[in-house]
Copies of this chain bind each other. A is one copy, B any other.
Amino acid sequence: MSLADLLLGRPLATEEEKAERIGPGQGIPIFGLDALSSAAYGPEAALTLLIPLGMAGIAYIWPISLSIVALLAIVYFSYRQTIVAYPQGGGSYTVASENLGEWTGLLAAAALMVDYILTAAVGISAGVGALVSAVPSLQSHTLVICLGILATLTLVNLRGIRETGALFLVPTYLFIACLLGMIAIGLVKTIAASGHPVPVVAPPKLMSASAGLGAWLLLRAFASGCTAMTGVEAVSNGVMAFKEPTDKYARLTLTIIIGILMVMLAGIAYLAPVYGVGATTPGEQGYQSVLSQLLAAITGKGAFYWVGIGSILVVLSLSANTAFADFPRLSRAIALNGFLPHPLTLRGRRLVFAEGVYALAILTAILLTIFGGVTDRLIPLYAVGAFLAFTLSQAGMVVHWRRTGGAGAAKSMFLNGLGAIATAITVAVVLVAKFTQGAWITLVLIPGLIVLMRSVKRHYKKVERQTRKDTGVSTHDLSSPIVLLPIEHWSVVSEKALRFAWNMSDEIQILHVECGEETESLCQQWAQLVETPAKNAGLPVPELVLLKSPYRFVVRPIVDYALRLERENPGRHVAVLVPELVEKRWYYILLHNNRSSALKALLLVRGNERITVINIPWYLRH
């Protein structure tokens, strides 16, 4: 296991779990990367829709961003309360299923799962996209690079949450420092210039207005800008990862993440019109991201600019990691309720929910492979999942407050109700605006996932029903089995199996499939090899049963015989002893006919409760 130790680190004991827990310092990179990095594309998405309004359009980014910040504040208060109410984690899924019922919970679960898979795929391909546009010769390797990064993220996350947090510490704080620094410098310059600062590097000229202002346009710009809010959910799912007192540290982490994000959004929205920065059309010549223009306008294209651009790229591509931090916790919460496979609830060697990490890695790899590593067009649809989860979470909190009541409940209910309505509207706007661009996929995936989860639950219920046993062991009708022992020729392996059989039963049948010479010599020697020694020792004499096989099948006649014997002897068990030559070097498997494996497999598939397979191994020495 030294390779596993090397790759994944030594196994951690269950008692070490507390030591693996984190504080806000590591919590921000782990649970905040996705939320914080969305400051890099949220305002840009809104401004892109304002392009047709020309110079006049960019002024609207301020009210739009303020609405988003307000919505963010509502969502923040909601999740803050969720953390206290549900310290075991679970976020939207837990809130929705506990307050709005199983179906709504599954809807939230499905929405979040889709959201996380998309976060991972889109995050990785965005990072690789930036890399590839810088180094065009890598273009043809896009998918391989994507899968390589995915594998690295998987490995890092399997090593445990503390190591992941440590790894992402530097780029995350560098990104935060650069963006807050830029905003601070911009504000100082603006105040110094009485509101009219001169850009160090002038942003590209904006196009003249080609369309008039309309409510639908503003609504769409708002909906697009809302992508800045994705990832806010993360902390509430991961409460259990924090040090004691968990809810305090989780809330603190959430507060810091949302606080920084609000400052970033507001700062960008305020400075963009001041410096005359608008969006340029993506994919066309002369395209430059809003943050790049703003950085250049405020600080010039010096070291600060390049460090800032670099940290933005790194953080964008690492934002996929938030999915790795949260998806396993979410799927564990769902699996604990029986709606996803049980193994998702198990902690792996490094205390992370390893099966969830694998599941996310596999699903993301499938998505990346289908889209060849270019998942840009999936961006619109992952806002749907996130906002559906927000809506259900807020609605759940409304019910929660109505149920618990108490001081301030009415106010909280109002806030959460407002949030639910606002986020529901956003879902509707995004769905309508982006329906043909891919949002319809969500409408297929989410119900599909719900059906899947319900059938998993149904299956577990069936197993539970069929295997449940509350009473003590029954001691009636204990009868020894009829033992069948298939042999090809007499050898030490068959001798060992026969000796084992004598321990189990008085009724032993040796099965031999007829095959010419070997059969003759076996029959001739039978008395001397088995019958006489058995009689002499006073042991039951095994019966030699010759099976005909006109079509030269060897395994099938044995299985057929066992099944017939079981039918003809109701109430008796049939035990099939399978002697097996074990070779510890894998390639020797080609040298033997592997009939014992085939026999075991076929008996398991075609058999029933009264047929038991007993493997008698014989080991080759070297």
Contact = CB atoms under 8 A, between A and B. Distances in A.
A472 B529 contact: yes
Contact of A459 (B11, B469, B588, B600): B588
Contacts of A13: 550-551
A481 B343 CA distance: 33
Interface stretch (A39-47, A204-212, A614-622): A614-622
Nearest to A549: B14
Interface in A1-29: 11-15
Interface stretch (A237-245, A433-441, A485-493): A485-493
A552 interface: yes
Interface string A582-614: 101000101111000000100011011101111
B609 A619 contact: yes
Contacts of A471: 529
Contacts of A14: 550-552
A492 B469 contact: yes
Interface of A: 11-15, 341-343, 346-349, 456, 459-460, 462-463, 466-469, 471-475, 478-481, 490-496, 498-500, 502-505, 528-530, 532-534, 536-537, 539, 550-553, 573, 575, 580-582, 584, 588, 590-593, 600, 604-605, 607-609, 611-621
A605 B584 contact: yes
B467 A15 contact: no
A537 to B, nearest CB: 4
A615 B618 contact: no
Q: Which of A343, A536, A591, A618 has the most CB of B within 10 A?
A: A591
A612 B615 contact: yes
A474 to B, nearest CB: 7
Question: In terms of DSSP, what is the predominant structure of the interface of chain A?
Answer: mixed
A592 to B, nearest CB: 7
A604 B591 contact: no
Nearest to A347: B552
Given A348-B552, A612-B617, 11 more contacts: A14-B550, A342-B591, A463-B620, A467-B581, A469-B492, A475-B539, A478-B502, A600-B615, A607-B619, A612-B614, A614-B614
A469 B525 CA distance: 12
A551 B349 CA distance: 6
B469 A491 contact: yes
Contacts of A504: 503-504
Contact of A608 (B342, B573, B588, B619): B619
Nearest to A576: B615
A536 B475 contact: yes
A174 B550 CA distance: 39
Contacts of A347: 552
Given A460-B591, A481-B503, A466 B604 contact: no
Given A341-B591, A469-B491, A617 B621 contact: no
A390 to B, nearest CB: 30
Contact of A456 (B349, B502, B532, B591): B591
Contact of A593 (B12, B343, B348, B591): B343
Contact of A609 (B469, B496, B503, B505): B496
A550 B15 contact: yes
A615 B613 contact: yes
Contacts of A475: 499, 502, 533-534, 536-537, 539
A614 B611 contact: no
- Please give me the 10 A-B residue pairs with the lowest Cβ-Cβ distance, nearest first: A475-B537, A13-B550, A11-B551, A472-B533, A467-B491, A613-B615, A614-B614, A469-B492, A343-B593, A472-B529
Contact of A590 (B341, B481, B493, B612): B341
Nearest to A594: B343
Given A341-B591, A346-B552, A534-B473, A463 B581 contact: yes
A124 to B, nearest CB: 25
Given A346-B552, A467-B581, A581-B463, A614 B615 contact: yes
A335 to B, nearest CB: 10
